[in-house]
Structure 1
Amino acid sequence: MVRRHELSGAEWEVLSRLLPRSGTRRPRQDDRVVLNGIVWKLRTGSAWRDVPERYGSWQSLYTRFRRWALDGTFTRMLRAIQAEKDAAGDIDWLVSVDSTIARAHQHAAGGRKGGEHEGDKAYDHALGRSRGGLTTKLHLACDGRGRPLGLVVTAGNVNDCTRFEQVMADIRVPRIGPGRPRTRPDHVLGDKGYSSRAIRAHLRRRGISHTIPERADQAAGRRRRGHRGGRPPGFDQQMYKHRNTVERCFNRLKQYRGIATRYDKTRESYQAAVTLASILLWI
C-alpha cells in the first residue's frame, strides 16, 4: 500500500533505473524506502529527525540525500528524464522565465562559512536579507507545459535580470544517441523585469525570438530621444498570455513545503530539493 507522500509505482519504475548503484558489496538500505523518506520530508517540511521510523534511520536518509546532492545524482536524473521526453517529442519549447521568493526559516541560517578545504572561498548559501528577513530566490525557466528546464538559486535580494543568462545556460537537454544537448528554445517569454538591452541582445545573438514587454520608464526615455531612441521592441499580446505557465510551475513546486519555506542550511541541499521536486513533475 502506498502511503501519503510516497512514490507511486509509476514514479518508482522511472526513478529506479536512474539511481546510481552501490560501489561496494556492503548492503545498504533499500533505495525506494530512502527516497520515500526524502520525499516525505520534502512534502511536509519536517526536520530530518522527525521523519517516521518506517523509513529507517534519519541519519541514513540525510547522508544519502546529501551525497546525491553533492555528486550531482539528482541533476543527472533530471537530465535523463528530459532527454527521454525530448526524444518522444514531449517538450514544448515555448519557454517562460521568472523567479519566486522562498522565505528562509531561522533554522536555515548558521551554515558553515568556510570551504571544505583550507583556503577555499567561503560558501555562498544563497540567503539574502530584506525587510521580510532571510529569503532565497529561485530563478526558473520552464517549458510550455509548466515543467522546469533550467534553474538557478540565489539570495532573495538578487535582481532577476542579472541571472537571466545563467538560467538560459542551465537549459541543457541531452540527446538520446549522437548529437549535442539542446540549449536553444523556440521562443522565450518574460515579464518587465527582463526588459533590458543586454537581455534582448543576448537572445538576438542566439537567434531566439522573445516576447518581453517594455517598461514604462524605458518607453518614456525612448520617446524623449525622438528618432535617436529607435523603434519600440516587438510585442505579441496573444503570445504573452502564455507566460503564466511559469507561475503555475511555481505553484506546483511550492506544494512541497520544504521548497515553499527553506529549511536547508546550504545552497546545495535546497537546490537538490528543488531538483527532486522537478523530477517528480516531469514524471
Structure 2
Amino acid sequence: MARLEPYFPKSHGRPRVDDRRVLSGIIFVNRNGLRWRDAPKDYGPHKTLYNRWKRWGAMGVFSRMMEGLATGADRKTVMIDATYLKAHRTASSLAGKKGGLGRLIGRTKGGMNTKLHAVTDANGRPLSFFMTAGQISDYIGAAALLDGLPKTQWLLADRGYDADWFRDALEAKGIKPCIPGRKSRNEPIKYDKRRYRRRNRIEIMFGRLKDWRRVATRYDRCPTAFFAAIALAATVIFWL
C-alpha cells in the first residue's frame, strides 16, 4: 500500500473509505470474474466498490499505477506482441452500426474479441499496453506503441512484425530489431537466435494476465473499464 498510495487521488471533504479494504475488494472481483453485487461483505458495500472502480478507472489511476511502478525496470531489451481477449455477449451486444469499433470489439474467426498489444521488458513484465478491436492488424498496434518505446538496445518480436517500415523506424530510434523474417521474403533475414529465445516470456505474461477472469473474458462494454482491469492485473501480478 505504501507503494500504491502516491497514485491515489487526494480526498476532498469527507474522509474516504478505507483504501486497502476497497482496493482488495476490487482485486477480488476482477480476479474471480464476479458480479459486483456478489462481492463478499467483508469488503464493504458492493456499490462502494463499483463506484470507486468506475471513478478511478475513468481517471486513469490504475494505468498510472502500472506505468509508475514500471519505471525501475531493466529496459536494455524489450519485447512486443499481441493477444486476443474474448468478448462476452454482455459486452458485445447492442454494438451499433459500426460493429462495436467504438467499444474496441471486433469479429474474427474466433468470434467477438478485443486485441491487446503489449510492450514488456526482458523478463516479460509489462511496460505499456494498447487496445484495439480484434480484427485490427498487429502493425497498427506496433505503430501506436512505437513513439512510447523506452530507450533500449534490442526489440524482440515474432515474424508477424516483420515489415521494412517497422525495422527502419526502430533503427531510426537506435534500436536493433531481433525479428525473424516472413517465409515469403526472397532473401532470409538474419537475427540473433540466442536472444530471440527469451521472447517466450511475453507469451507467459499474457497467460498470467488471463488467469484473471475479467481479463480473459471481457464483460465490460466500456473499453476504459476493461483497460483498467488489465492495468490493475498487471500491477498486482508483476509489479507488487
Alignment TM-score > 0.5, same fold: yes
- Unaligned runs of at least 5 residues, structure 1: 1-11, 114-121, 172-182, 224-231
Q: How does 1:36-55 map onto structure 2 within 5 Å?
A: 36-55=24-43
1:195 aligns with 2:162: yes
Looking at structure 1, the residues matched to 148 and 29 of structure 2 have their Cα atoms a distance apart, in angstroms, of: 27
Counterpart residue number, 1:93: 76
- Unaligned runs of at least 5 residues, structure 2: none
Contact 1:111 1:125 in 2 (8 A): no
Cα pair distance change 1:132/1:139, threshold 3 Å: same
Looking at structure 2, the residues matched to 131 and 168 of structure 1 have their Cα atoms a distance apart, in angstroms, of: 28
1:27 aligns with 2:15: yes
1:17 deviation in Å?
3.6
1:62 aligns with 2:21: no
Spell out, residue by residue over 1:175-208, the C-alpha distance to the aligned partner (whole angstroms, 9 max, x if none): xxxxxxxx22221000010001111111111110
Counterpart residue number, 1:266: 222
Larger Rg over CA atoms = 1
Spell out, residue by residue over 1:247-283, the C-alpha distance to the aligned partner (whole angstroms, 9 max, x if none): 1111121111111111111110111111111212112
1:93 deviation in Å?
2.8
1:168 deviation in Å?
3.1
Looking at structure 2, the residues matched to 28 and 157 of structure 1 have their Cα atoms a distance apart, in angstroms, of: 42
Match of 2:200 among 220, 244, 253: 244
Moved more, 140-149 or 157-166: 157-166
Contact 1:92 1:145 in 2 (8 A): no
Using the size of structure 2 for normalisation, the TM-score is 0.91
Looking at structure 2, the residues matched to 111 and 184 of structure 1 have their Cα atoms a distance apart, in angstroms, of: 42
Using the size of structure 1 for normalisation, the TM-score is 0.78
Looking at structure 2, the residues matched to 257 and 209 of structure 1 have their Cα atoms a distance apart, in angstroms, of: 36
1:112 deviation in Å?
8.1
1:18 deviation in Å?
2.9
1:81 aligns with 2:69: yes
Identity %: 36
Where does structure 1 differ by over 6 angstroms across 4 or more consecutive aligned residues? none
Contact 2:85 2:217 in 1 (8 A): yes
Contact 1:127 1:134 in 2 (8 A): yes
1:130 deviation in Å?
2.1
Looking at structure 1, the residues matched to 2 and 113 of structure 2 have their Cα atoms a distance apart, in angstroms, of: 36
Counterpart residue number, 1:282: 239
Counterpart residue number, 1:16: 5
Counterpart residue number, 1:116: none
Counterpart residue number, 1:186: 153
Looking at structure 1, the residues matched to 34 and 88 of structure 2 have their Cα atoms a distance apart, in angstroms, of: 12
Spell out, residue by residue over 1:14-60, the C-alpha distance to the aligned partner (whole angstroms, 9 max, x if none): 223432221x2213321111101110011101112211222122222
SS in structure 1 of the partner of residue 7 of structure 2: coil
Match of 2:89 among 92, 106, 112: 106
Contact 2:75 2:151 in 1 (8 A): no
Q: Aligned pair count?
A: 237
Contact 1:149 1:170 in 2 (8 A): no
Cα pair distance change 1:111/1:69, threshold 3 Å: farther
SS in structure 2 of the partner of residue 149 of structure 1: strand
SS in structure 1 of the partner of residue 78 of structure 2: strand
